[in-house]
Amino acid sequence: MWNHNLEINKINKRLGSEYMQAERIMNGSCIGLVSPSHVAKTAIYERIAMALRRLGFTVKPGKHLFKNAYGYAASTKDRVEDFNRMVSDPEVEMIMFGGGDTAVDLLPYIDYKNIARHPKIFASFSDGTSILNAIYAQTGLITYYGVDVREFCYFRQYDREQFYANFIKDYEGPFFIGEEPWKVLCGGFCEGVIIGGYAPLFAMLLSNKHFKYDKRKKYLLILEDNEKFSKPEEIATYLGYIEQSEFIENVSGLIFGSYSDNVPQMLLDCLQRFGTRNKIPVVYTDDFGHGKRHGILPIGVHAKLDADRAGLKFCDLV
């Protein structure tokens, strides 16, 4: 049987770090496309593949990418097979997948052992929250929240800069770029390991046996949602589940992402109350999430948040 803690400790000792970071990609690198959360439409994914090739990458689609067994996704068996094949494929250096629903189906069957031994870049957002956080929790590998493969159909300059800054070898630029001023709801300074993602998914993930956290560490929580999906009172519900879990004792701060073009005051008030009750800094931004900008935040990286100056610094990220 694989001794998870022993293997991860060996890897971390070798890398001189508390986490693993996969190698960056470059021109000609192979990106694998899988679909754990939705039925992939042929026309859309052909556009995605074409856009990635124009950027200089090769693209490898999953064998079952376009299957539809359940009416909303391929069978769990097919989705897991595609995912684990990409993990095992020596040509694939980055694995990307979009949002939707039911990515949680894959968590018991993901080959975490192989991921730990052969780390690659995993990037997604929305329903990908489950997989990204489980991979980090099970292996210590940094994963990347904020990238939806379908954004390549209309790749904005901001998204391009974020993609290159986080994933491309020798590219020089800030890892996280803020285009709009942040709203400071509860000031202060904090630091911790970045964790989180889509608000309802992360709230549910706290009870999932494939997710775990270190009770000795502090975590900088990132959450995002959008008016298309959740009302402010629903956001309050998700925050309530998080707040009433043991995990809240380890939360050092909150960055809440894109909600709408005109964010309702009741949502800001809700976030402010959350920060006040828990005595943590809280900021709001529309630079990442289900909005127009797709900033990328690395799950598993130690970061420092200066809420008063709306500054976010990643520590030891290369």
pLDDT above 80 for 192: yes
b/e for 134-155, b at 16 or more Cβ within 10 A?
bbbbbbbbbbbbbbbbbbbeeb
pLDDT above 90 for 136: yes
How far apart, in whole angstroms, are the C-alpha atoms of residue 318 and residue 315?
9
- Percent of the chain whose pLDDT exceeds 70: 93
CATH level 2 (architecture), domain 183-314:
3-Layer(bba) Sandwich (3.50)
Query: What tokens were used for 154?
Result: 């209309």
Q: Quick one: 4-167 is in which CATH superfamily?
A: Murein tetrapeptidase LD-carboxypeptidase, N-terminal domain (3.40.50.10740)
How far apart, in whole angstroms, are the C-alpha atoms of residue 293 and residue 17?
31
Q: How far is CA 220 from CA 63, 139, 248, 250, 276, in A?
A: 37, 19, 11, 9, 16
Q: Of 132-141, 142-151, 152-161, 290-299, which has the strongest mean pLDDT? A: 132-141
Average pLDDT over the chain reads 91
Give the global pTM. Answer: 0.92
pLDDT above 50 for 10: no
155 pLDDT tier (thresholds 50, 70, 90): confident
pLDDT above 70 for 116: yes
pLDDT above 90 for 151: no
Mapping DSSP to helix (H, G, I), strand (E, B) and coil, where does residue 99 land?
A: coil
Residue ranges per structural domain of the chain? 4-167, 183-314
pLDDT at 18: 66
pLDDT above 50 for 93: yes
pLDDT at 38: 95
